[in-house]
């Protein structure tokens, strides 16, 4: 059976945008996105718009609208974020079986790894985001946890026969050992789940005209605040300590942070490693994935994963980063 996204042609994209009252100039540019499909669409006598088409059957309408409401809430509190456009009173639209949302076009560049001045400003921005996120919970979006990001990911990989037989015992063994250790650290580490970005890698914190803004809240969910912080750090332990200090100096201006959560950095990194492999496996029926990730399923990839999980298990037994 063909994948639903195979029917999402440029003509259908234009028809969808025009179905809610915009007149396109027939220019469509596919942007770099795999989970959903995102296009820049030219508009007659206006700035181009960004049209995001949601992956079918991933989120419920209630979950998507909850993401939108969180984004609007951030914008109302003057947190710089690219929010969905509201047209005819709606932010979520449907055309030919596809749900889609329009955004204003706002470019920018990703932060420079290890730039201390930028990390201070990113800390301020994340502190503002979490100050809003902590005011109430999500009702329709899942929380980040060891089961859904760890155990469920391992089940997907084992049951789907994605791991070469030669490496299956090694991968399963280290993955189970790693998850056991992650569970222990989670149990021993006090933390509070708040609404957070959820996929806060540097590419989702864009800088334009010397100002940072947040993009792509598609993965927002409940989780510990440190999940949105640790991906801002780069380099060896000593470098990360200096970066963490700058990041938290900015963050603490707007929101309190429990330093005990720093013990969750390596467990969260471990969960992200496993979840990424499972994400590729779950999307393998989408033709874009075999084309874009041809190395998935090779012995080299899984050999590297075994090594990465072993290194992560060792990292979990080291002293966590601390604020001074």
| Lowest-confidence segment of 196-210, 255-269, 299-313 by average pLDDT | 196-210
Is there a domain that residue 2 lies in? no
**How many CB atoms sit inside 10 A of residue 211's CB?**
11
Is there a domain that residue 109 lies in? no
Catalytic residue among 45, 152, 188, 199: 199
Q: From the annotation, which residues make up the binding site for Mg(2+)? A: 204, 216
Q: Which of 104, 132, 162 is the last residue of a domain?
A: 104
What's the predicted TM-score (pTM) here? Answer: 0.94
Direct distance between the N- and C-terminal alpha carbons of the chain, in angstroms, rounded to an integer? 57
Catalytic residue among 11, 177, 216, 236: 216
| 209 is a catalytic site residue | no
- CATH number of the domain residue 222 falls in: 1.10.510.10
The mean per-residue pLDDT over the stretch 266-270 comes to: 98
Q: Are residues 14 and 100 in the same domain?
A: yes
**CB crowding 233-266: b at 16 or more within 10 Å, else e:** beeeeeebeebbbbbbbbbeebbebeeebbbbbb
Q: Are residues 135 and 62 in the same domain?
A: no
Q: Are residues 154 and 287 in the same domain?
A: yes
Q: Which of 63, 83, 104 is the last residue of a domain?
A: 104
Confidence of residue 324 (pLDDT cuts 50, 70, 90): confident
| 218 is a catalytic site residue | no
Residue 81 is predicted with a pLDDT of: 96
Residue 211 has pLDDT above 70, yes or no: yes
Residue range 126-171, pLDDT digits in tens: 999 999 999 999 999 999 999 999 999 999 999 998 999 999 999 9
Residue 2 has pLDDT above 80, yes or no: no
Total domains in the chain come to: 2
Is there a domain that residue 136 lies in? yes
Name the phi and psi angles at 199, rounded to 5: -140, 55
Is there a domain that residue 59 lies in? yes
The mean per-residue pLDDT over the stretch 21-35 comes to: 94
Q: From the annotation, which residues make up the binding site? A: 204, 216
The mean per-residue pLDDT over the stretch 210-224 comes to: 95
Residue 1 has pLDDT above 70, yes or no: no
Q: Are residues 156 and 51 in the same domain?
A: no
206 touches 184 (CB < 8 A): no
Q: Are residues 234 and 298 in the same domain?
A: yes
Residue range 51-62, pLDDT digits in tens: 999 999 999 999
């Amino acid at each position: 059976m063909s994948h639903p996204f195979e029917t999402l042609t440029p003509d259908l994209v234009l028809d969808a945008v025009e179905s809610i009252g915009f007149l396109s100039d027939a220019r469509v540019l596919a942007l770099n996105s795999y989970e959903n499909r995102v296009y820049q669409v030219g508009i007659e006598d206006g700035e181009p718009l960004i049209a995001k088409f949601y992956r079918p059957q991933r989120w419920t309408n209630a979950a998507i609208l909850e993401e939108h409401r969180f984004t609007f809430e951030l914008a109302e509190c003057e947190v710089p974020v690219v929010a969905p456009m509201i047209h005819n009173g709606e932010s979520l639209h449907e055309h030919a079986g596809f749900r889609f949302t329009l955004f204003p076009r706002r470019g920018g560049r990703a932060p420079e790894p290890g730039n201390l001045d930028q990390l201070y400003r990113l800390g301020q921005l994340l502190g503002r985001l979490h100050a809003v996120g902590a005011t109430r919970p999500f009702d329709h979006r899942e929380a980040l946890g060891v089961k859904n990001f760890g155990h469920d990911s391992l089940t997907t990989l084992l049951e789907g026969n994605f791991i070469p037989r030669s490496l299956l015992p090694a991968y399963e063994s280290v993955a189970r050992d790693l998850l056991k250790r992650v569970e222990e650290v989670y149990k021993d580490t006090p933390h509070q789940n708040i609404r957070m970005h959820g996929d806060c890698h540097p590419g989702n914190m864009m800088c334009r005209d010397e100002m940072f803004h947040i993009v792509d809240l598609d993965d927002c969910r409940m989780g510990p605040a440190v999940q949105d912080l640790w991906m801002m750090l780069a380099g060896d332990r000593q470098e990360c300590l200096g970066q963490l200090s700058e990041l938290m100096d900015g963050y603490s201006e707007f929101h309190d942070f429990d330093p005990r959560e720093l013990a969750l950095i390596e467990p969260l990194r471990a969960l992200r490693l496993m979840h990424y492999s499972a994400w590729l496996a779950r999307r393998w029926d989408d033709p874009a994935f075999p084309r874009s990730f041809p190395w998935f399923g090779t012995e080299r990839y899984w050999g590297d994963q075994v090594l990465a999980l072993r290194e992560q298990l060792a990292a979990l037994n080291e002293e966590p980063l601390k604020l001074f």
